[in-house]
Structure 1
Amino acid sequence: MKDFARRLPLNLLPLLIGVVAFFLIIGPRALNPQNIAWLGNGDPATHYLGWAFFRQSPWTFPIGLNPSYGMELGNGIIFSDSNPLLAFLFKPFAALLPTPFQYFGLWLLTCFVLQAWFAWKVVGLMSSHVGVRAVSTALLLFVPPMLMRMPFHLSLGGHFLLLASFYLALHQQLRRRRLAWGALLATVALVHAYFLAMVALIWIADLAAGYFKKKLTLRSALIEFLALFSLVSFCCWQAGYFSVGTEGAISGGFGIYGMNLLS
């Protein structure tokens, strides 16, 4: 208990930094669940409308189907980028929630707080100096790629998911690695496919490194790969990834938003 009391201020420091950063950059109005004015244009409007249709739709299986959303082509909650993780969390209470209701402000607050928390943890693997960890945490809260996404693509503000994967991969004495990686990959699959591709590659690299460094046997590595691949596939199915066939998908942005390796 004494050790816990001694460490408590240090554990609260990154959370406080994250909260302060949120109020400096986003502001308190986004936390009002009935305030949808800031979601009125562009992609954020699409994110909110996907949720608005989803909350009114009957339950389906897979649960991520959004049959009322779209003209002549119903799809899944993942395709409106409405953050299935939170949509699944709040839909059971749809009848109790006010109208309108949005959870995207809460999501952005979560992004800042967890970005700070995992930044603190990752830097802590390399330095125990409080000042170094605090400055590094603040630096990672103001990274342009994260801040540039937040006004337009709300789910892509979740850069903490990448930091979490770095933490798991860099941790030398990670306990219950299957449980930790499974929880992270399932969460990522229910947030955004872009993050899933990134985090999955880091996981596979960590799995391969564990095998080549003799930390994992071939049998153990194969079991983990098959188990977590099945878990991710199930989460993707439930989120509606497979609700639109190839004939209904378009790729109008392909080739426009490209970057070379140096970029």
Structure 2
Amino acid sequence: MVKFKEWLIKNMTVLIAGTIGAFVFITIYGTKILNPCYTDWLMSGGDLSQHYLGWKMYRNGDWTFPIGLTDQLAYPHYTSVIFTDSIPVFAVFFKLISPILPNDFQYFGFWGIFCFILQGMLSAKILQKFLRKKSFILLGTAFFILSPIHIWRMFAHTALAAHWLILLAIYPIVYYEEKFYKSKNAVLIYGLLGILCSSIHLYFMPIVGMVLCGFLLVSMVKSKKIFESLLPLFSFLSMGIITVYLLGGFASHASAGGLGHYSFNLRSCIHKRLSKVWK
């Protein structure tokens, strides 16, 4: 109990920042979308409908291996839940417990408030390294939470609202001396990031990868151990590739068909195949 109180006091600013994130989310989007049985807001067309219908089709399909595939979208062909942007890590988890869930079930509201909370907590944790006053930390946190692109992404390209992944990638750079001078810790956190990025949205792989390059540079300069400094990169890439494989990202057998053949570009008039037309 004493240890918990100490932990609570030590992390109070971070917890308040997370609470601010939740408050901002509810203020902007309301509480109705947090109802897992309320799905009407997802069927207004556009990307939101794609995300939700991708989850519905994935949920209704049989389990396969790789586990992220479904034949419900383009039977008899299989499609990975990665490509419907349905937040695969949530889709797989909720499919596991699907038998106890109601027929109409959505997790995108949960995802939204989850992103806002983590955006607040991780930004506060990073700012704690540079600022002493709690009021300044919380003020700085507000800029991260209220970032226009973060708010806009939330229910446009929902999976891409996970800006906290970028903050989590920055965290080891900021706290290198305190926690991540040991390669083991860096390998673990960037391995986890590889799993998360590839199971949330693949766009985060190159984004977080660029931040990781910054960490590698810091590690090489300070530790003077080149091979050991590269281990987090191997961890990040290997975990990312394995996760994509398990989610069926490499299972597509789509054909290019007439790509490059049924087309007409500026050089086609003098192309050898059409030269006889001009004779």
User: What is the TM-score when the length of structure 1 is the normalising length?
Assistant: 0.88
Task: Say if 2:166 and 2:208, in contact at 8 Å, map to a contact too.
Answer: yes
Give the equivalent residue in structure 2 for 1:232.
240
How many aligned residue pairs are there?
A: 249
CA offsets 1:96-131 (integer angstroms, 9 cap, x no match):
110110000000010100000111011112112111
**1:186 Cα deviation from its structure 2 partner:** 1.1
Structure 1 residues 44 and 248: alpha-carbon distance in aligned structure 2, compared to 1, 3 A threshold: farther
State the alpha-carbon separation in 2 of the partners of residues 54 and 171 from structure 1.
40
- Counterparts of 2:201 and 2:146, CA distance in 1: 21
**C-alpha separation between the residues in 1 aligned to 2:105 and 2:49?**
13
Corresponding residue for residue 127 of structure 2: 123
Indicate the larger mover: 75-84 or 5-14: 5-14
1:96 pairs with 2:96: no
Kept in 1: contact 2:69–2:81 (CA 8 A): yes
Q: 1:248 to 1:145 in 2, by over 3 A?
A: farther
1:189 matches 2:193: no
Say which of 185, 202, 211 aligns to 1:202: 211
CA distance in 1 between counterparts of 2:23 and 2:231 reads: 42
Q: Supply the distance in 2 between the matched residues of 1:33 and 1:191 (Cα, whole angstroms).
A: 19
Q: What letter corresponds to residue 244 of structure 1 in structure 2?
A: S
Map 1:12-161 onto structure 2 (within 5 A): 12-40=15-43, 41-70=45-74, 73-161=77-165
User: Once the 2 structures are TM-superposed, how far is the Cα of residue 26 of structure 1 from its aligned partner?
Assistant: 1.3
What displacement does 1:216 show? 5.5
Counterpart code for 1:28: T
Aligned-pair CA distance for 1:232 = 1.1
Distance in 1 between the 2:256 and 2:128 partners?
A: 46
How far apart, in 1, do the equivalents of 2:57 and 2:8 lie?
A: 46
CA distance in 2, matches of 1:27, 1:45: 19
Contact 2:122 2:167 in 1 (8 A): yes
> How far does residue 151 in structure 1 lie from its aligned partner after superposition?
2.2
Q: Could you say which structure has the larger radius of gyration?
A: 2
Could you say which residue in structure 1 is the equivalent of 2:272?
none
User: Secondary structure at 2:72's aligned position in 1?
Assistant: coil
Out of 230, 249, 268, the position equivalent to 1:241 is 249
Look up the equivalent residue of 2:234 and give its one-letter code: L
Give the direction of change, closer, same or farther, for the CA distance of 1:9–1:170 in structure 2 (3 Å limit): closer
Residues 157, 222 of structure 1: alpha-carbon distance in 2 compared, 3 angstrom cutoff: closer
1:4 correspondence with 2:11: no
Cα RMSD after superposing both structures: 2.0
Q: Say if 2:190 and 2:232, in contact at 8 Å, map to a contact too.
A: no
CA distance in 1, matches of 2:60, 2:224: 47
**Counterpart position of 2:179:** 174
* Rounded Cα–Cα distance in structure 2 between residues aligned with 1:248 and 1:27: 44
50-59 or 69-78, which deviates more? 69-78
Q: Gaps spanning 5+ residues in structure 2: where? A: 260-279
SS at match of 1:115: helix
Shift of 1:180: 1.3
Secondary structure of 1:68's aligned partner: strand
Question: Do the aligned partners of residues 50 and 64 (structure 1) sit closer, same or farther apart at CA in structure 2, a change above 3 Å counting?
Answer: same
Q: How many angstroms does 1:202 deviate by?
A: 1.1
Return the alpha-carbon distance in structure 2 between the equivalents of residues 27 and 181 of structure 1: 34
After superposition, the Cα gap between the structure-2 partners of 1:142 and 1:5, relative to the gap in structure 1 and judged at 3 Å, is closer
